[in-house]
Amino acid sequence: MANDDRSVRRVRDLGEQGILQCLYQFCPADLVGDDAATIALTPDLGDSLVVTTDVLVDGVHFSDRTTSPEDAGWRAVAANLSDLAAMGATPIAITVGLALTGETRLCWVEGLYRGMVACLDRYRTAIAGGDVCRSSVNTVSITAFGRADGARIWRRDAARPGDAIVVTGWHGASRAGLELLLDPDRGKALSADDRADLIRAHQRPKPRLDVREALRGAIAENENDSQTRSYAAMDSSDGLADAIVQIARASGVGARLERSQLPQPDSLGQLATPEQALNWVLYGGEDFELVLCLPPAIARSLLSRLNAEARIVGEVTREPGVYLTGTPGSCREQQLSLKKGFQHF
């Protein structure tokens, strides 16, 4: 009553971040703001439950044009498991809430589930039930939950000046794969293998659940550096630039990235101009790799345990702002922002 203006504001006026900020007021502060929520299961913090939810809507997140039901299922599961990976958790199970139109073909639903189970099987995880109901638009809501042991050492707000910024693998590949699916005439110069790799990066992304063990080993090897602190981590589902900017903001720091170090598949150069390729690497999204900020010794030790595409791409700075140096054709540094990423509203 006191605020008439508020009563007529609509969802589309606020945008996704605006709505999330508004909804955060209803949630305990320690449970929101990261890729997933972490809840202590035992008073001594020996074991924590890590929980994350994604809602996917037909025509917004998947479409028969570029995505088979099997791939839609795989991608939906991979996105949720990637959020668990970004919290250093191992998956326990998922639940699936389905809202379906009456016209939906049973074979579509079965394909969706086959794709989900194919991805889950890889990580020895199962579907622990769910719900199904009628709707005017097909909607898939997945909640994944995992277990993390020890205190919470992976968090978005834990980057410190001097940390090395580690990226676990190729970026831009998923976006390039989507381009090839949308326009099959594109990228004729690509080899069949390169084409298949890019399309697979889009259709069958792999959550980096292997990083947890590798980081444990790296920490153990450099124990003196790391005994009491947390590390910043986030997945790059909304783009590499988004992940780094979000970590920097949450941690109250800045970052400096080196263009030549950003891990980009060679084949991108045959498909796009350098400028477009850089745009895909930074803002394409859905590569489902991890971005971590770690003391340099731990970062180097982690790289030695991961695949060759993992790189140190820059450094956390005391000064705010995320800057990219060494951009080809530009003598100035480029400041990165969230604005170019995908916005839901």
Residues 62 to 121 in contact with a second copy, rule: CB under 8 A = 92-93, 95-107, 109-110, 113-114, 116-117
Q: Is 238 annotated as a binding residue?
A: yes
Q: Is 123 annotated as a binding residue?
A: no
Distance CA 31, CA 53 (A): 13
Distance CA 345, CA 340 (A): 14
Task: State the nearest-atom distance from the C-beta of 68 to a second copy, in Å.
Answer: 14
Distance CA 250, CA 24 (A): 15
Q: Which is nearer to a second copy, 3 or 228 (CB)?
A: 3
15: left (phi over 0), alpha (psi -120 to 50) or beta: left
Q: What is the DSSP letter of 35?
A: S
Cα pseudo-dihedral 33, 34, 36, 40, rounded to 10 = -90
Which distant-in-sequence residues (6+ apart) come within 8 Å of 105 by Cβ?
Answer: none
Distance CA 327, CA 261 (A): 11
Distance CA 109, CA 165 (A): 40
Task: State the nearest-atom distance from the C-beta of 343 to a second copy, in Å.
Answer: 9
Q: Which is nearer to a second copy, 116 or 292 (CB)?
A: 116
Q: Which of 45, 122, 127, 279 binds a second copy (CB under 8 A)?
A: 127
Q: Which of 6, 124, 188, 332 binds a second copy (CB under 8 A)?
A: 6
Q: Which is nearer to a second copy, 88 or 263 (CB)?
A: 88
Query: How is 223-263 classified by DSSP, letter by letter?
Result: HHHHSS--BEEEE-TT-HHHHHHHHHHHHT-EEEEEGGGS-
Q: Is 71 annotated as a binding residue?
A: no
Q: Which is nearer to a second copy, 10 or 188 (CB)?
A: 10
Pull the structure tokens for residue 27: 């949630």
Site string for a second copy, 17-56 (x = CB under 8 A): --xx-xx--xxx--xx---xx-x-x-----x-x-xxxxxx
Q: Which is nearer to a second copy, 96 or 310 (CB)?
A: 96
Neighbours of 230 (CB within 10 A): 17
Distance CA 97, CA 104 (A): 15
Q: Which of 73, 44, 32 is nearest to 56 (CA)?
A: 73
Q: Which is nearer to a second copy, 139 or 222 (CB)?
A: 139
* Binding residues with a second copy: total (CB under 8 A): 75
Q: Which is nearer to a second copy, 10 or 65 (CB)?
A: 10
Site string for a second copy, 139-158 (x = CB under 8 A): x-x-x-x-x-----------
Counting contacts by CB under 8 A, is residue 136 touching a second copy?
yes
Q: Is 66 annotated as a binding residue?
A: no
Task: State the nearest-atom distance from the C-beta of 103 to a second copy, in Å.
Answer: 6
Query: What angle is formed at CA 156 by the lines to CA 153 and CA 160, rounded to 5 degrees?
Result: 80
Task: State the nearest-atom distance from the C-beta of 314 to a second copy, in Å.
Answer: 29
Neighbours of 257 (CB within 10 A): 25
Site string for a second copy, 224-253 (x = CB under 8 A): ------------------------------
Pairing type for strands 321-325 and 254-258 reads: parallel
Q: Is 131 annotated as a binding residue?
A: yes
Please enumerate, by residue number, every residue annotated as part of a binding site.
Answer: 35, 52-54, 61, 83, 113, 130-131, 155, 235, 237-238, 286, 342
Annotated binding site for Mg(2+): 35, 52-54, 83, 131, 235, 238
